[in-house]
Homo-oligomer: A and B are copies of this chain.
Amino acid sequence: MTVELICVGTELLLGNIVNTNAAFIAEKCAMLGLSMFYQSVVGDNQGRLEELLRTAKERSDVIILCGGLGPTQDDLTKETAAKVMGKRLIEDERARKEIEEFMAKRSRAITENNWKQALTPEGSMVLYNPNGTAPGIIMEDGQTSVILLPGPPNELVPMFEEQVYPYLKERGPETICSKMVKLCGIGESSAETKILDLIEGQTNPTVAPYAKTGEVHLRLTAKASSEEEAYRMILPVEEELKKRFGSLIYTDDPQMTLEMAIYELLKVHNLTVTTAESCTGGLLAGRLINVPGISECLKEGYVTYSNEAKEKLLGVPAETLREHGAVSPQTAEAMAAGGARAANADLCIAVTGIAGPDGGTKEKPVGLVYMSCYCRGKLYTEKNQYTGSRSKIREYSVASALTLLRKAILELTD
């Protein structure tokens, strides 16, 4: 089954916003085993949209359109799609009522325009929208399914997950199931090399690597006649990945992030952690605090951007800073040990480096970052050399520091 995506919006053609909807929908369609050969963006222009829709209808089984369902005269997606599918627009009573309620709850006045949003193509499925005034639509004509979704991601994402995904899954030729195995502490190309035989020899199930900052995610997908059968097919491949990657795998739960996995470890082993940051300057603590509930384990963190602060807050000896410099394994270790002492925590993860663009030397170039993790008396220290912009170097440093923190906890609790 082939699917094609058309995003409608002048703001995309002007580059005002990044098209995150396209990546979201494409990933979901891949999970469903649908083949997507084309994505397009057009503006709010009836002629061009109609032409594109007619072309799409010739070549694809499912057409997903996002955007252009708003209340203004410019918003033409529904009108154009209904025309191409040969459907009349009629008012949907429940849609009208929901718009009324939505606006009343927000004390917003309803204008005559708003009722346009309650019009739906006859015989279509209406996807009610608790997060906005534009309902989604699914239209079929026996040959093609056309799915209309509102543009704002906070409306589109839940509507897709709750209403469109099950619709597509049911209509798919087979049941598709997938699992995500997430790795940290290994680069994308090393990870790929280790499983090239699994990637290349694959037909069903398939293994697909997704590179993230400091992480690699491997999606396992199987097609079968039932969900049970699909997961049964995935199992031996997952086992094989566990054998090859061991503790580099931090989760097989698609919702879990690296910081969440670390929080789970801290909680289970009743450990506390603190942070001591120089070049990352708060971003590492910021990522850990992404996890709701981490206050049990992380009480405080230190941003020690100056030498003075490293001495004052972490007790790094002036001598260490003078002899080895702020960017050195010695300073990283003194920061880690000092941070744990100051916060009275079991662990402290410390980062010091040169994020650039200035401040590099031949011996200590931009991108050189030392990190050390103090863990109940032991120190785990790492040297990293990154390339890229200041913000990239800082982002990668945070990812590596989380990986080092996880490693220290695993060794402690092994």
Interface residues of A (CB under 8 A from B): 12-20, 22-30, 36-43, 45, 48, 154, 208, 210-211, 275, 277, 279-286, 288-290, 292-295, 298-306, 308-309, 312-313, 343, 355-359, 388, 390-391, 394
B290 A391 Cβ-Cβ under 8 A: yes
Q: How far is the CB of A412 from chain B (nearest CB, A)?
A: 22
What separation, in Å, do the CA atoms of A312 and B274 have in the docked complex? 14
Q: Identify the closest chain B residue to A343 (Cβ).
A: B309
Q: How many copies does the complex hold?
A: 2
Q: Which residues of B contact A17 (CB under 8 A)?
A: 23
Given contacts A39-B40, A300-B313, A313-B300, contact A282 B290 (CB under 8 A): no
The residue that A19 contacts in the complex, of B18, B275, B277, B293, with Cβ under 8 A, is: B18
Could you list 5 examples of A-B contacts with CB < 8 Å?
A12-B22, A40-B40, A282-B289, A299-B309, A300-B304
Would A48 and B38 be within 8 Å (CB), given that A19-B18, A285-B303 are in contact?
Answer: yes
**Chain B contacts for A359, CB-based, 8 A:** 292
In the complex, the answer to whether A281 meets B289 with C-beta atoms within 8 Å is: yes
On whether the beta carbons of B19 and A23 are closer than 8 Å, the reply is yes
Taking the closest CB of chain B, its distance from the CB of A78, in whole angstroms, is 21
Cβ-defined contact, B30 with A25, below 8 A: no
Task: Provide the residues of chain B in CB contact with A288, threshold 8 Å.
Answer: 281
Give the residues in chain B near A283, CB-CB below 8 Å. Answer: 282-283, 286
Residue from the set A30, A154, A300 with the largest chain B CB neighbour count within 10 Å: A300
Quick check: B38 and A39 within 8 Å, CB to CB? no
Interchain CA distance A308-B272 in the complex, whole Å: 14
Chain B residue numbers with a CB within 8 Å of A295 are 305-306
Nearest first, the 6 closest Cβ-Cβ pairs linking A and B are A15-B27, A281-B289, A282-B282, A15-B26, A282-B285, A301-B303
Least Cβ distance of A113 to chain B in Å?
Answer: 15
- Please name the residue on chain B nearest to A22 by beta carbon: B19
State whether B275 touches A282 (Cβ < 8 A).
yes
Is the pair A37, B29 in contact by a Cβ cutoff of 8 Å? no
Q: Beyond A15-B28, A19-B23, A277-B282, is A292–B41 a contact (Cβ under 8 Å)?
A: no
- When C-beta atoms are compared, the residue in chain B nearest to A310 turns out to be B300
